[in-house]
Amino acid sequence: MSVASVKGVRDLLPGEAERWQAAELVARAVFRAYGFAEIRIPIIESNELFVRSVGEATDIVEKEMFTFPDRHGELLCLRPEGTAPVVRAFIENKLYATDPVAKLFYIGPMFRYERPQRGRYRQFHQIGAEVLGVAEPLLDAEVLEMVVHLVGRLGVTGVELQLNSLGDARCRPAFLTALQGFLRSVRAELCGDCHRRLEVNPLRVLDCKNEGCQAVLARAPLVSEALCAECRAHYEAVKAYLRQQGVAFVEHPRLVRGLDYYVRTAFELVATTGLGAKNEVAAGGRYDGLVRDLGGPDVPGMGFAIGMERLMALLPEGSSEPAQPFLFVASVGQTGEAAWRLLTELRHEGVPAEAGYEGKSLKSQLRRAHKLGALYVAILGEDELNAGQITLRDMKAQRQDAVPLARARQEIVARWASR
Ligand SMILES: [Zn+2]
Ligand SMILES: [Zn+2]
C-alpha cells in the first residue's frame, strides 16, 4: 500500500508551482520598489513565542498550533504566522542597532491545525511584510496603499479594504471593562468557549465563530467608540492619508482580528467576488508594544500577510503549463557521446534542453519531444555524425536544416536568444 500525504496538506505540482512562482516574482518586485528586504525565518520556533505574542486565549494558540516536544522535552511548534518570528529575529539579531527602520518581507508556509475545507489547508502559505520602527500614521497609510497595490498588481480585481482602530494600552482597558460588563450581562446566550474567554480575554469573544454568539455581539460596545484622543487622531490621520492617495476603504467597526498584539490600525482586504464566506485575501495591522513584550526595545511595528491559497484561487487561470524544453536532442545509433556533449554544453549556456534515455527509435523520440513541447529537435544519427553535422528540426515550422556539428551549439544558442 502506498503512503498518503498528511490530512490538510497538499502538493503543489508542476504547472501550479509555476503560477505561484510568477506571483511571488511580482510580490518581490513590489516589495523592492517599496524598500523592503527579504527575511527567511525558521519554520520551527519555540511554542512560547506565540503564547506570548499571539496570545493565550486566542483560537490559534488554544486550538490550532502544531505543538510538540523535541527529544529533550522542549516545547516547539510549527509557526502559525510570520509576525512573531520576524519580531523575534529583529530582537535576536539586533536589527534596530543598524537602522532605526526595518522593512522586511517573507514568503513561506505557515501551519494551523484547522478543520480542512475547500481552500483551507493545515499547511498554508503567506506573503507577508513588517515595518519596525515607525509610529507615524503615514506609515500605516503607506503599508495599506502598498498591500492594495500589490494585490491589484498580482491580478486580483474586486477587493475592499476594511479598516478599524483597536485603541491602545491607554484606552483599551476601559473598553475591555465595558465589553466584559456587557458580555457578563448576556452570558447565558454565549457559547462555552466564550464563557471562559470573557473572563480571560474578553476581546477574543468578538471573533467567536458561533452564530449564536455573533448575533449577541451585534449589540456589544464598539472599540472604535472608546478610543482615546491620541488613538482617534492617529486613526483620523491614517484615513486622511488614504484619501489623499486615492486609496478606497470602508470603515468596519467590528473588525478585531484574532490576535492579541494588534493596537490602533487593523485591516482586512476582502474579496468582493469569488471566494465565498471566508473571503479575506490579506490582513494585518499595527502592533506597537509587541517588540517590547518579546524582550526587545520599545519599537513600534506594523505589518500584514497575504494568504497565497486564497490569492491563487482569485487569479485567472492563465498559462499553467510546466516549463517546456527549448530543445530535444534525439540520438540514434552509436552517437550517444556526441549527443550528450551537445546537450550538456547547451544546458551550461542556459538553454532548456532534454534528451531521451534509452536509445529508442527516432520516431519514438520525436513523439516524446512533441509531448514535452520542445520547439526544436536536434537529430544526431550515425550518418549525421559521419558527415560532422546535426539535423535541426523546427517543430512549429515543420522544417529542418543541416547544421555543422562544430557550429551547432552557437546556432542553437542564437535561436534560443532570439526566440
Ligand atoms: Zn488609545
Ligand atoms: Zn462563542
3-class DSSP string for 134-180: CCCHHHHHHHHHHHHHHHHHCCCCCEEEEEEECCCCCCHHHHHHHHH
**Ligand 1 centre and the CA of 177: distance in Å?**
14
Q: By mean pLDDT, which of 28-37, 314-323, 376-385 is the weakest?
A: 314-323
Instruction: Tell me the β-bridge partners of 306.
Output: 127, 282
- Residue 320: which pLDDT band, with cuts at 50, 70 and 90? low
Instruction: Tell me the β-bridge partners of 327.
Output: 353, 376
- Of the candidates 328, 335, 327, which has an alpha carbon nearest to the alpha carbon of residue 384? 335
What is the number of the ligand closest to the CA of 198? 2
- Residue 157: which pLDDT band, with cuts at 50, 70 and 90? confident
**Ligand 1 centre and the CA of 355: distance in Å?**
66
**Ligand 2 centre and the CA of 23: distance in Å?**
37
Predicted local confidence at residue 356, as pLDDT: 84
- Residue 117: which pLDDT band, with cuts at 50, 70 and 90? confident
What mean pLDDT is predicted for residues 68-88?
Answer: 97
Q: Which residues surround the ion ligand 1 when the cut-off is CB under 5 Å?
A: 167-168, 170-171, 228, 231
- Residue 322: which pLDDT band, with cuts at 50, 70 and 90? low
**Ligand 2 centre and the CA of 80: distance in Å?**
22
Structural domains of the chain ordered from first start: 16-171+227-314 (3.30.930.10), 327-417 (3.40.50.800)
Instruction: Tell me the β-bridge partners of 161.
Output: 269
**Ligand 2 centre and the CA of 267: distance in Å?**
22
Supply the pTM of this predicted model.
0.88
**Ligand 1 centre and the CA of 233: distance in Å?**
9
Give, in order, the Cα–Cα distances in Å from 146 to each of 5, 212, 240, 267: 36, 37, 16, 13
What is the number of the ligand closest to the CA of 204? 2
Q: Is it the case that residue 107 has pLDDT exceeding 70? A: yes
Q: By mean pLDDT, which of 71-85, 257-271, 309-323, 388-402 is the weakest?
A: 309-323
What is the number of the ligand closest to the CA of 167? 1
Q: How many CA atoms lie within 13 A of 122 on its CB side?
A: 14
Q: How many CA atoms lie within 13 A of 200 on its CB side?
A: 15
**Ligand 1 centre and the CA of 264: distance in Å?**
7
**Ligand 2 centre and the CA of 193: distance in Å?**
6
**Ligand 1 centre and the CA of 173: distance in Å?**
9
**Ligand 1 centre and the CA of 318: distance in Å?**
46
**Ligand 2 centre and the CA of 45: distance in Å?**
30
Q: Are 126 and 85 in contact (CB under 8 A)?
A: no
Ramachandran category for residue 129: left, alpha or beta (phi over 0 → left; psi -120 to 50 → alpha): beta
Q: Which residues surround the ion ligand 2 when the cut-off is CB under 5 Å?
A: 191, 194, 208, 210, 213
- Strand duo 280-286 + 263-271: pairing: antiparallel
Q: Is it the case that residue 4 has pLDDT exceeding 70? A: yes
Cα–Cα distance for residue pair 201/211, rounded to 1 Å = 19
**Ligand 1 centre and the CA of 271: distance in Å?**
30
What is the number of the ligand closest to the CA of 265? 1
- Residue 201: which pLDDT band, with cuts at 50, 70 and 90? confident
